Chain A
Amino acid sequence: MTYLEKYKEDAYNCLHCRLCTFTWAWPNEKGIWPKGSFQPTCPSGEKYKFEAYFGGGKSWLARAVLEGKVDIKDQAIVDILFACPTCGSCQQQCTLEEPAVGYHHRIMNLIEALRADCVKAGSGLPGKQKAFGVHIGKEHNPYMEFQKDRLSWLPANTKLPEKAENIYFVGCTSAYRQKELAKATVDVFQKANVDFTIMKDEWCCSSPLLRTGQWETSWVSAKDVAQHNVNEAQKTGTNTIVTTCSGCYRTWKKDYNEEYKDLLNANHSFKILHTTELLEQLLKKGELQPKNNVKMRVTYHDPCHLGRHMGVYDPPRNLLKAIPGVEFVEMPRARENAWCCGSGGGVKSGYPEWAVEISIERVKEAEQLGVEAIVSACPFCERNLTDAINKCGSKLKVYDVVELVNRAIA
């Protein structure tokens, strides 16, 4: 049985109406559609243009695969499946879902299952995707770094308890690439008296493997990786896991316990929080008091893994609005309609130049608002937006919400 079989109904449920190809932002009372409505929403479709690259086309392609009309080993299928940041906008826009009657159209699952079938058949994995999969198997991160260096960013004088109320799950991107964010997170936690520790042997959360179809391969097992993390976390006796990485957040909260629970067998009972959720809770309780003026006009970029995938839209915005001096403006494509930063779904490693191209579109959208900075809540977004700014010579700055909160608190 193929992985795709599990989602057969979803493939056939698509009526191919192409609502998945553009944003939908409701008109105001006078029937005027806002600027963010009917805008391009699918990076893959907008780049490659043929129908197969859009969500609906992929669903009909899945049907063709299920009916044996298309061979999963056909080389032409590789770009269609893998040149997609799995941002989930197609699925978001396809709101014809009626879960109450069992009607789902989980385009994301179709794509990921097709990728896994492709990998299983010995195909797929463009660019460095297989290399990072192999490295996760060996050194437990996709960045070709050593596991022993995972916490090298942590100031030597930081004392972490064996057991604590919260685990700060750093994630590979913060640990190896966006180290300033990791430091800022620890800083904020310490200033806000958050009782936390960091797992001694934290591994990749497995998100890169799940997203690229490297589920059960000869070089790495997503299940082993996920189970290791759950076991390590259980050793600390904690109840809550907090992460700044939107990818890790989705994986811990949704993939381990729901989406891929059969594949991973890594169920857990931890409460999973994104840093912005924890900080927003502290803000509401008065335990976090941003007092320093951070004079800056900013906009917020919704990370796909935090927004569309998990429905977390307001905590980062509420934090920004609580910082003195911050002037917050929305981009036309915001929240459910946010344009992807381009780095997810394996695109950053599979199609690095295109990943930056996608992000440049987001930078241009932000520039039109006259802001000084794009703020996000994911190190992976931060990294790719930074690459885009460098590539296109923009004067914008990129920050994580946590970094601005850190500036604002004593």
Chain B
Amino acid sequence: MEQIVEALQRIVGPENVSDAKPIREAYVTKAIMDISSKAPAVVVRPQNVEEIQAVLRLANEKKIPVVPHSGGLSGGEATPTREGSILLDLRRMNKIIEVNTDARYMIVEPGVTSAQAWKHMQDNYPAYRPGVPDGAPPSATIVGDHLDRGFHFFSTRYGPAADAVLGVEAVLPTGEVVRTGAGALPTAKWFYRWMFGPDLTGLFLGSQGTLGVVTKMAVKIFPMPKVRDVMAFGASDWKYLIEPCLEVLKTEAVDLAQGGNYHLATTRRARFTWPPPPKPKVLPTVWMNFELGAESKEELETVKRKIIEILKRYQSQYGENNLFEWKLDIRSIVARLTKPNRISVPYAGHKGGGLLFITWYMPWRDAGKFCEAAEKLMETHKISPVVWLAAVDHGRQALVMPIVLFDPKSSEEFETVETLDKEMTEQFLNMGGIPYRPNLKVHAPMVMSKSLGYYDLLKRIKRAVDPNGIMHPGRLGLLEAEKEAKA
């Protein structure tokens, strides 16, 4: 490794390379996506595409794993680090390259944070904003969120963040630079995700760094509504919430819809006890917020009236105790509408910082059943049943995210969480869900093996693009493909 470190220092400068253990350990995280991460062998901080090309050529020649890391964030640090790897900390590449308010996109480097992008637009192009993550801190990057199909503050209206990507520039594991979408042609602007042929932009979205290092990305910017408000439905049970919310979502008038069960709120302010604290009177058992935006107050009022009509229709069927409008106080409304939001994951106090998101996609109509199943499984393991639910693309999809809080100081609890993850994966697969970000140990082997040709195709693509299997080994369950490549 000593020679590798020296070679890396020649590429990016000695001050941007470190194999010191204290430096490497500070990048490790055991939360959110993966609870089995280990420290990389060396951390490298490149500044430009040429440096990344040189690093990847070196890594490819020496068959050293590479883990790209733009901001590394979901609700907290989330990039699963890999033992023996080169960790590419991309935060020096933080330029906003272009904003085009006619074609409505911005091009950013991987280190541009949500806060930076938001402020840049606020100060220079106040009518537009990029999709910044909702529920991840402002230190999360635009590229990271879009690349990983994140949930942004307009995701109910416009779909997951990846849907807003209009093209990427990436360095392949073998060192070549590629551009996708309209930006592939040097004479064209980055206005369109497609070139001729298949969607090569999509190839990189959700790839979790397994196919190359994204060095530029064009993302859509969206018009900011002039007036905004939040409404909320509360219900005594998931079964009373799902159907009326679907009716609201079908109006296609909601910017962002998200909610959950009361544990989502109470665990933040309560130390772990079993059974969990009872539901406070002020909270509904389950709820859904609708963030609304419009060009005028009148337009907003029309939308709100429509939502109330839907509510009343279902109240006559379910009863007003089972479904009701949950009037939010002004503080809650301001907190919801403040973007980028400060909320990262305010649950560390509950059990001391251990956290795993087990996130699944499913059709909205099935979401209630998934939430219930998640709660029951978590209760079986005496884990506080915290469940978050959100609507994507006007409710064409739902995101159900059990937030598993555990004590990171206890090895037994790590095992319990892994067991729960396996049980939930098995059950959710049978129920027709798909995992959001499959991890190496649990989701990938269970899910990929059942796919209809999908996994084989993915492996073939991986082998073609990354013949030595150096890019983020293990992610997407592609370890097998990587081993085959090495053999």
Contacts and interface: CB of A to CB of B under 8 A. Distances in A.
A13 B28 contact: no
B26 A51 contact: yes
B319 interface: no
Interface residues of B, number: 54
A52 interface: yes
A34 to B, nearest CB: 10
Given A69-B21, A80-B23, A31 B337 contact: yes
B218 to A, nearest CB: 23
B344 A15 contact: yes
B122 A33 contact: yes
Interface in B24-45: 25-29, 31, 39, 43, 45
A102 B136 CA distance: 24
Contact of A58 (B26, B337, B348, B353): B26
Nearest to B339: A31
A143 interface: no
Contact of A24 (B20, B342, B354): B342
B269 A101 contact: yes
B349 A18 contact: no
Contacts of B268: 98
B331 to A, nearest CB: 12
A15 B26 contact: no
A17 interface: yes
A37 interface: yes
Contacts of A22: 115, 138-139
A182 to B, nearest CB: 41
A60 interface: yes
Interface in A45-89: 49-52, 56-58, 60-61, 63-64, 69-71, 74, 76-77, 80
B352 A9 contact: yes
Interface string B440-464: 0000000000000000000000000
Contact of A27 (B16, B76, B269, B338): B338
B92 A49 contact: yes
Q: Which of B118, B269, B344 has the most CB of A within 10 A?
A: B344
A186 to B, nearest CB: 45
Contact of A76 (B22, B271, B346): B22
A21 B137 CA distance: 11
Contacts of B355: 15
Contacts of A56: 77
Contact of B409 (A12, A69, A100): A12
Contact of B25 (A19, A38, A69): A69
B270 interface: yes
Contacts of B118: 33, 38
Given A19-B139, A64-B22, A50 B353 contact: no
A22 B118 CA distance: 14
A229 to B, nearest CB: 35
A141 to B, nearest CB: 33
Contact of B348 (A14, A18, A31, A57): A14
Interface string A86-101: 0000000001111011
Interface in A239-288: none
A50 B76 CA distance: 17
Contact size range, A:
35 or more
B25 A16 contact: no
Interface in B7-29: 16, 18, 20-23, 25-29
A125 B25 CA distance: 22
A76 B76 CA distance: 26
Contact of A16 (B20, B29, B45, B407): B29
Contacts of A24: 342
Contact of B18 (A17, A33, A50, A74): A50
Interface in B342-388: 342, 344-346, 348-350, 352-355
A156 interface: no
A60 B350 contact: no
B148 interface: no
Contacts of B91: 49
A101 B271 CA distance: 5
B139 A18 contact: yes
Given A27-B338, A98-B268, A103-B348, A32 B92 contact: no
B73 interface: yes
A130 interface: no
A12 B26 contact: no
Contact of B23 (A18, A31, A50, A101): A50
B352 to A, nearest CB: 5
Nearest to B18: A50
Interface centre among A17, A58, A69, A98 (most CB of B within 10 A): A17
B408 A12 contact: yes
A9 B271 CA distance: 13
A98 B270 CA distance: 9
Given A102-B349, A105-B348, 8 more contacts: A19-B137, A27-B338, A58-B26, A60-B26, A74-B20, A74-B21, A98-B349, A103-B350
Interchain residue pairs A-B with the least CB separation, the first 9: A103-B349, A15-B76, A17-B344, A76-B20, A16-B77, A52-B26, A57-B26, A18-B139, A64-B25
Interface of A: 8-9, 12-19, 21-22, 24, 26-27, 31-33, 37-38, 49-52, 56-58, 60-61, 63-64, 69-71, 74, 76-77, 80, 95-98, 100-103, 105
12 contacts: A12-B408, A13-B349, A19-B344, A31-B339, A49-B91, A51-B23, A52-B26, A60-B26, A101-B349, A102-B271, A103-B348, A103-B350
